[in-house]
Structure 1
């Protein structure tokens, strides 16, 4: 493997570790800063703010990476992440935490620019394998991060954020010293109309046949937002988990999910087809969520993890199904539509789920998982109703 790939994969692992570090102890940090016991809504605001900034500025940074080169944008993004974690480590008030998350969202182009970098330096016949390694590296980092963050947070609440800042600073130094530019910058004029984050969604409403599968992606992404928003809160409220146990539970989930996505989707699709595989994934997730809602012991959560991870087979099957909705000339445009739908879910749903948790917490924290079951069940008619029609006409600017 060549040196740029080693550097970019190392960057991905360190970035994922840094992201995962903060999840187990963010609720405790917010309680310390706000002096409020129920911080569910504050977590929702922080998550949604990050998503808003990412939604607005990701197209800008993507276009700048085409014009100025991948390397400078990646360096700016890593620097922004390090500044964010320093804000989290030392902020005495909520507004400073929010400012840090806004900076992180504004500069959150590292993974998308890393994807473009790999595309630049990889022959077409090697891209699938390298993108598989990309996902594996991120998965490894995200498994390590929560466990490490929980352990450090039990020692000192601010320590995980300092560790995340140090990891991103190391990431920045590594990329600065060892990562060459992957393409010749165009230095051309940026198309301002292309920077409108809502522009791709116009196509969906003009071509009605694409609306159902776009809604399915939106619902799946919406349901997925609940874990980052409510998992740590629920673990503490339902089982009195400390940071380490929250981290271990997230790490176990990550291990099972990574293994399921790595080995099961291909055989499942071959055996059942995409539609049945998606529905099987939904069923596995719903069974696990119902068990979690009624669980009274910690071991039940770890025991249900393999069934929970079965839900991971649905997303790759859905992606495969989506590629058959349009012809080859429209794939990039359709993927842009899907990315916009996922970003909107990341903005709206953390606030919704955190508000629900605020309502449920005093009487039954596990009820939040039943609300997610309702969301997943709502997607079943859409999956059953999918039809393969004549490829849609491309959007004319």
Structure 2
């Protein structure tokens, strides 16, 4: 493996371990509050589910607006000063912010806390840049897939634990999330080495590139990257149908409370984990990057159709495996983009992608939450379709698939790779991969 000169073999392994743990703990911290945040909003405003849906959408929009503004700044800072500092500041800031939200007695303070979370939540994109620093090109798809392991473990345990803790006290998940983030900061302070040597860093911090619009200029310099970034944007836009409406939709349609929501989200994480642990690295050498992207998008469309039209809970649950198989699309698409970008621009690339996800998050929550509220109201244009948000998500992924077909049409078929060429060096490589749950890194908090 072509390792960064700053990382000797033992420290390289420790660094990979930390990135895995960092993403897992951050996802666990975010996952814990998923089942309870909408219900806390209902409690603070004393309103109905439809009113809470609008407020929940506003919370997600605020979070993503902060991400849209600050992700390019974080990416440019990591290119200039290294990944380690950005990751550590992120973890510490999130820990303090979760404490503020745990204590928030009024809605506006919870709203401010969510804004700070959006500013601090840099570890996801910076972790991706870290992986691009130290993993060679031919192994990045598998490495990005394995980062999905962290999301999977966090997303399996987080919502289930959050549902259980929220049943005990609605504020308790925020305290546990704060503890996890601060533990992660302490672990990283003593363990994490730098991945980007000084000679490969950007020579200066440039505000022209450290803004969401300047970041798009970077994408336009690479035509295939720009096209795949459009696919990435649409995938994230569709994803927000879940972020914005899942909790309230399942409450409205099936009467699920925090515990049921937590357990089903845990099932989503488990299924996604199996996809990432078993299928990504096994199918990658057989299908190649292009076919795996298209296969993942097609299966994800089927999952959203199940979610949108399921009138019974067991039919809704049938959509989870298909939605999880959509995780096949993310790692190869992300790997294809990193192949074409210089080392000193990997942070900016990941920041630009985070900005696109954030841009989707600015508009999508209001779109999907208001669409949900409309279709459960007396003024619904089509009766008995409370899952209209998921139907729209399926349509967006269909458009993404058509774009992906066009921008990857000249990608050559992948040559078969040996097993050791597609399995990154990660903490659990000594164990059977089938025993480890994984999930795709496409969930924006």
TM range (shorter): 0.7 to 0.9
- Which stretch of the first structure deviates more once superposed, 370-379 or 220-229? 370-379
Instruction: Give the C-alpha shift of residue 19 in structure 1.
Output: 0.9
Distance of 1:179 and 1:203 partners within structure 2: 29
Is 1:60 matched up with 2:73? yes
Q: 1:213 to 1:24 in 2, by over 3 A?
A: same
Return the offset for 1:341.
2.9
Aligned to 2:112: 99
Give the Cα–Cα distance (whole angstroms) in 1 for the partners of residues 123 and 173 of structure 2. 21
Shift of 1:303: 3.3
Deviation at 1:231, TM superposition (A): 0.9
- Alpha-carbon distance in 1 for matches of 2:19, 2:253: 39
Aligned counterparts of 2:113 and 2:359: Cα–Cα separation in 1:
21
SS at match of 2:329: helix
Question: Post-superposition shift, 1:135?
Answer: 3.0
Give, in whole Å, the separation in 2 of the partners of 1:66 and 1:328.
11
SS state of the match for residue 24, structure 1? coil
1:295 aligns with 2:310: yes
Q: How many pairs does the alignment contain?
A: 388
Change (3 A) 1:85 1:289: same
2:233 alignment partner in structure 1: 218
Q: Would the alpha carbon gap of residues 369 and 8 (structure 1) be closer, same or farther in structure 2, given more than 3 Å must change?
A: closer
Runs of 5+ in structure 1 lacking a partner?
A: 391-397
Aligned residue among 399, 402, 411 for 1:378: 399
Q: How far apart, in 1, do the equivalents of 2:333 and 2:70 lie?
A: 27
Once the two structures are overlaid, the 10-residue window that deviates more, 107-116 or 230-239, is 107-116
Cα–Cα, structure 1 residues 156 and 351, in superposed 2: closer, same or farther, change >3 Å?
Answer: same
Q: 1:209 to 1:252 in 2, by over 3 A?
A: closer
Q: Following TM superposition, by how much is the alpha carbon of 1:162 offset from its aligned partner in structure 2, in angstroms?
A: 1.2
In structure 1, which of residues 248, 259, 270 is the aligned counterpart of residue 274 of structure 2?
Answer: 259
Higher relative contact order, structure no. (Cα contacts within 8 Å, ≥ 6 residues apart):
2
Deviation for aligned residue 1:116 = 4.6
1:240 aligns with 2:261: no
Q: Does the 8 A contact of 2:75 with 2:350 survive in 1?
A: no
Rate the CA distance shift 1:301–1:388 in 2: closer, same or farther, 3 A.
closer
Counterpart check, 1:18 vs 2:29: yes
Q: Root-mean-square deviation (CA), in Å? A: 3.5
Matches of 1:357 and 1:254 in 2, distance apart? 24
Q: Which residue of 2 aligns with 1:282?
A: 297
For the pair 1:306 / 2:321, whether they are aligned, the reply is yes
**Structure-2 change in CA distance of 1:339 and 1:8 (3 Å):** closer
1:66 positional shift? 4.6
* Distance (whole Å) between structure 2 residues aligned to residue 61 and residue 146 of structure 1: 28
1:79 match? 92
Cα shift at 1:247: 0.8
Would the alpha carbon gap of residues 164 and 336 (structure 1) be closer, same or farther in structure 2, given more than 3 Å must change?
closer
User: Which residue of structure 1 aligns with residue 147 of structure 2?
Assistant: 134
Shift of residue 342 of structure 1? 2.8
Q: Provide the C-alpha distance between the structure 1 equivalents of 2:271 and 2:39, rounded to a whole number of angstroms.
A: 27
Displacement of 1:271 in angstroms is: 5.2
Alpha-carbon distance change, 317 to 84 in structure 1, aligned in 2, over 3 angstroms: same
Given the superposition, is the C-alpha separation of residues 388 and 5 from structure 1 closer, same or farther in structure 2, using an over 3 Å criterion?
closer
Q: Do the aligned residues in 2 keep the contact of 1:209 with 1:389 (CA within 8 Å)?
A: no
Which runs of 5 or more residues in structure 2 are unaligned? 1-9, 378-383, 412-445
Equivalent pair of 2:71/2:355 in contact (CA under 8 Å): no
Give, in angstroms, the shift of residue 214 of structure 1.
3.4
Q: Distance in 2 between the 1:86 and 1:78 partners? A: 13
Residue 173 (structure 1) aligns with = 186
Q: 2:205 aligns to what SS in structure 1?
A: coil
Q: Which residue does 1:352 correspond to in 2?
A: 367
Using the TM superposition, give the Cα deviation of residue 140 of structure 1 relative to its aligned residue in structure 2, in angstroms: 1.0
TM-score (normalizing by structure 1): 0.83
Residue pair 1:61, 1:73 contacting (<8 A) in 2 also: yes
Q: Give the Å deviation of 1:131.
A: 5.0
Instruction: Give the whole-Å Cα distance in 2 for the aligned partners of 1:209 and 1:75.
Output: 33
Aligned match of 2:389: 368
